[in-house]
C-alpha cells in the first residue's frame, strides 16, 4: 500500500455524494449518497470511492489462485474447502489425471491439499475450481498456514516485494493463495522463520514501514528474537 493517509471507515459511514463520484467496491448508494458497507480502509482513485475490507471471508473471483483442502471425494468430483462461505467443486474433467468413475479417492482424498484456480463463480455463488494449469497440482510436503484474505495483498507486497523478501532470506518456496492459505516448503528452520514473519505481518499489516521491519527481522536468526 502506498504512503497515503489511511482512514478506517465503518459500515454506514457517509463517504460522499453519488453526484460526481462513482461507488466502487465495498460501498452502496442510497438517496444519492455513497456509504461504506464494510469495516475497511477508504481508497479514493479517480473519482471511484472504494472501501478495502479489513476482515471477512474470502470472496472468490474467477481466475484467482487458491489453496484448497479436499473435504470429500465423490463419484466424479471432489468437494474442496477453499475458505469461502461455500465449498468448491472440482470435477474429474478439471484435473490432469485420467480418473475412472468412482476412483476419485485414488487421486485426492479427505485432507489432501491442492493448488487450484477458480474456474467459475455462478449467480448463486456456486464455485468450481480447476487443476488444469501448468502451476497447479496436488501439494506434498511443507506446511500450510493461514492469514486473513484481506491481508494477502500486504503479504505479497507491491510488485511482490514482501514475499520476495521472505523467500530470499529463508530459502523457502512460498505460495500465497488469494483465499488466505499459504504453503511453505523448505527446511524446518526456514519454515519456522517464515511463519514467524507472517504472524508479524498479520498483526502489523496496517502500519507503515513494515517491509523494512520484516527485512530486519529476517536478517536476524530467529533464535535471537
79 near 105, Cβ under 8 Å? no
User: Closest approach of Cβ 93 to another protein, in Å?
Assistant: 24
Q: Which residues pair with 174 in a beta bridge?
A: 184
Which CB atom, from 72 or from 133, has the smaller least distance to another protein? 72
End-to-end CA distance of the chain: 27
Cell numbers for 30, please give them: 442510497
Site string for another protein, 18-47 (x = CB under 8 A): --------x-x-x----x-xxx--------
The answer to whether the beta carbons of residues 65 and 178 sit under 8 Å apart is yes
* Site residues (CB under 8 A) for another protein, limited to 137-176: 139-144, 150
Nearer to another protein, 156 or 192 (CB): 192
Q: Which of 1, 52, 54, 217 binds another protein (CB under 8 A)?
A: 54
Distances in whole angstroms, Cα of residue 108 to Cα of each of 23, 30, 76, 98, 111: 43, 48, 12, 13, 9
Using the rule CB under 8 A, is 113 a contact of another protein? yes
> How far apart (Å, rounded) are the C-alpha atoms in residues 36 and 24?
10
- Residues near another protein (CB under 8 A): 6, 8, 10-12, 26, 28, 30, 35, 37-39, 53-57, 69-71, 81, 85-87, 110-113, 124-125, 139-144, 150, 183, 188, 191-192, 203-207
Amino acid at each position: 500500500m502506498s504512503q497515503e493517509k489511511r482512514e478506517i471507515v465503518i459500515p454506514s459511514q457517509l463517504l460522499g455524494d453519488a453526484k460526481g463520484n462513482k461507488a466502487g467496491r465495498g460501498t452502496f448508494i442510497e438517496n444519492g449518497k455513497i456509504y461504506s458497507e464494510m469495516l475497511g480502509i477508504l481508497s479514493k482513485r479517480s473519482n471511484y470511492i472504494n472501501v478495502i475490507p479489513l476482515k471477512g471471508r474470502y470472496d472468490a473471483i474467477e481466475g484467482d489462485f487458491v489453496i484448497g483442502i479436499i473435504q470429500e471425494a465423490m463419484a466424479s468430483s471432489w468437494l474442496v474447502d477453499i475458505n469461502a462461505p461455500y465449498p468448491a467443486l472440482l470435477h474429474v474433467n478439471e484435473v490432469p489425471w485420467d480418473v475412472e468413475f468412482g476412483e476419485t479417492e485414488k487421486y485426492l482424498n479427505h485432507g489432501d491439499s491442492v493448488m487450484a484456480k477458480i474456474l467459475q463463480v455462478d449467480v448463486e455463488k456456486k464455485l468450481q475450481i480447476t487443476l488444469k494449469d501448468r502451476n497447479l497440482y496436488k501439494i506434498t510436503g511443507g506446511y500450510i498456514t493461514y492469514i486473513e484474505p484481506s491481508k494477502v495483498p500486504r503479504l505479497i507486497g507491491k510488485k511482490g516485494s514482501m514475499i520476495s523478501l521472505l523467500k530470499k532470506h529463508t530459502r523457502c518456496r512460498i505460495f500465497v493463495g488469494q483465499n488466505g492459505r499459504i504453503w511453505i516448503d523448505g527446511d524446518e528452520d526456514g519454515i519456522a522463520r517464515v511463519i514467524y514473519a507472517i504472524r508479524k505481518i498479520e498483526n502489523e499489516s496496517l502500519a507503515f514501514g513494515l517491509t523494512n521491519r520484516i527485512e530486519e527481522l529476517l536478517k536476524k536468526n530467529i533464535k535471537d528474537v
